[in-house]
Amino acid sequence: MKTDGNIKFPAKSILFMSVGYLASNERQTKLDAELPKNSQSNFETKYREITGITLKPDNLNYFLWDRDANKWGVELRIYFISNDNLPSNLKRSVVTARPGSKYNSRVNDNNLIWDLIKYGYRLSDRQKIDLITSKIPITYKEDFQKGLEL
């Protein structure tokens, strides 16, 4: 189907449904990053290029591992409250959040999370729906809205 002169791709439609789903205030979506110190420079550069924000580790949403940690790469995570009415690409990626957490769901898909950052998500305990909405291409606004309503 054609919209506004742009071709609309089904995979992108599903992505933007997920962007909308996670943007809902009901989800209380939190985005975190944990990484080894040797990945810090590249990670911060990429994040700054996308967001314009210069990061500093805060041990809340952005955590650097000690050198002796048995961890290898950048781990991005989204925590959220799911109503189990998830878009299909999230269903495949969701795992149960840690016991005792206010969140019941977690996604560890770095590729998806970088897409979310590109569309306005930030390392934070709460997302700004106005920022996210402003970054959605017109072609996918309807899919985004469907995700918000799930």
Q: Is the pLDDT of residue 56 over 50?
A: yes
**How many Å apart are CA 55 and CA 65, to the nearest integer?**
16
Task: Residue 98: count other Cβ atoms within 10 Å of its Cβ.
Answer: 9
Among 24, 34, 109, 28, CA closest to 69: 34
**Per residue in 71-122, pLDDT tens?**
789 999 999 999 989 998 898 899 998 888 999 999 999 999 999 999 999 9
pLDDT computed for residue 47 by the predictor:
98
For the segment 117-138, what is each residue's pLDDT rounded down to a tens digit?
Answer: 999 999 999 999 999 999 999 9
pLDDT score at 1:
39
Buried b or exposed e, range 83-97, using 16+ CB within 10 angstroms: eeebbebbeebbeeb
Q: Does position 57 have pLDDT exceeding 80, yes or no?
A: yes
* The model's pTM: 0.90
Tally of CB atoms within 10 A around 47: 19
Q: pLDDT for 41-50, tens place per residue?
A: 999 999 999 9
Which tens digit of pLDDT belongs to each residue from 1-31? 334 445 566 789 999 999 999 999 999 999 9
